[in-house]
């Protein structure tokens, strides 16, 4: 019997909600013991906070303190030179995709101060594969390229589609708009008409012709 692909959790060197460490701990635990967990450069700090050990450390390691590195001296590393053509995040994603990983979740993808460029770059990494998701507390982002995207949530959650093609066509199922379900909604690169839709059911499907980022934000009561 063919062995099922392992899911993979990749912790990037970005912004983390340190007031909600339980979220990251639960994500790792809920992934199960078969999942592979990777720290990318300064993403190793989250493991230091959680007192957990990743399966692999990736990067040029110029953004993590030597003191922290010394505490993870026994963890396997894929270390790269600082002078390279790819970001540490892209190198890590390419490594897991070459190993035929199953679902790949990326954490720490949001921008730290002064690193907005990395946040946009991290979002584009989603197009390297077909089963990648950016995750942070209350947010998940996926890419669609002439394909469908499915989300589970609660009524009232937000759903936004950000066009990356000159024009996209979108069909929603389980959302507030359009008022006639199944009607095709068109939007162009630079337009915002497909932002801030709303879950009307707990299961939502979005079919997209063209390329787009699809963002699911959990409902937050005022």
pLDDT of residue 1 exceeding 60, the answer is no
Task: Please tell us whether the domain made up of 8-137 is placed in CATH 3.30.1330.60.
Answer: no
pLDDT value at residue 168: 97
Residues 27-56: what's their mean pLDDT? 95
Please give the C-alpha separations between residue 85 and each of 19, 60, 100, 192, 201, in angstroms, as whole numbers.
34, 12, 23, 33, 44
Contact 91, 82 (CB under 8 A): no
| pLDDT tens figures, 136-152 | 999 999 999 999 999 99
The reply to whether 8-137 and 142-217 are identical in fold is: yes
Q: Where is pLDDT greater, at 222 or 40?
A: 40
Task: Calculate the average pLDDT of the chain.
Answer: 93
pLDDT value at residue 3: 60
Residues 10-21: what's their mean pLDDT? 95
pLDDT of residue 100 exceeding 80, the answer is no
Q: What's domain 142-217's superfamily in CATH?
A: Thiamin pyrophosphokinase, catalytic domain (3.40.50.10240)
DSSP 8-state symbol, 16? -
pLDDT value at residue 4: 65
Bridge partners (DSSP) of residue 14 are none
Please give the C-alpha separations between residue 183 and each of 112, 120, 172, 189, 204, in angstroms, as whole numbers.
39, 30, 8, 20, 15
Helix (H/G/I), strand (E/B), else coil: 22: helix
| pLDDT tens figures, 152-198 | 999 999 999 999 999 999 999 999 999 888 899 999 999 999 999 99
Q: Delimit the domains of the chain by residue range.
A: 8-137, 142-217
| pLDDT tens figures, 111-133 | 988 889 999 999 999 999 989 99
- Tell me the C-alpha distance between 47 and 62, whole Å: 17
Residues 64-88: what's their mean pLDDT? 94
Considering the entire predicted model, what is its pTM?
0.93
For residue 178, say if its preceding peptide bond is cis, omega within 30 degrees of 0: yes
Lowest mean pLDDT among 40-44, 99-103, 213-217: 99-103
pLDDT of residue 212 exceeding 90, the answer is yes
Contact 210, 162 (CB under 8 A): no
């Amino acid at each position: 019997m063919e062995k099922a692909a392992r899911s993979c959790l990749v912790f990037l060197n970005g912004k983390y909600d340190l007031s909600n460490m339980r979220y990251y701990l639960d994500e790792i635990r809920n992934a199960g013991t078969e999942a592979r967990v990777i720290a990318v450069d300064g993403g190793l700090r989250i493991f230091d906070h959680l007192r957990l050990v990743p399966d692999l450390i990736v990067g040029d390691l110029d953004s993590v303190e030597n003191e922290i590195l010394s505490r993870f001296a026994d963890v396997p590393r894929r270390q790269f030179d600082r002078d390279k053509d790819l970001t540490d995040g892209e190198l890590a994603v390419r490594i897991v995709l070459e190993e035929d990983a199953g679902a790949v979740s990326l954490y720490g993808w949001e921008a730290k101060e002064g690193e907005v460029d990395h946040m946009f770059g991290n979002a584009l990494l989603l197009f390297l594969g077909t089963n990648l998701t950016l995750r942070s507390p209350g947010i998940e982002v996926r890419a669609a390229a002439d394909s469908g995207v499915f989300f589970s949530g609660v009524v009232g959650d937000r759903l936004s589609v950000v066009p990356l093609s000159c024009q996209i066509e979108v069909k929603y199922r389980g959302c507030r708009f359009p008022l006639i379900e199944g009607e095709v909604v068109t939007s162009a690169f630079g337009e915002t008409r497909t932002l801030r839709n709303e879950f009307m059911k707990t299961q939502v499907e979005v079919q997209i012709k063209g390329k787009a980022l699809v963002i699911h934000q959990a409902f937050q009561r005022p």
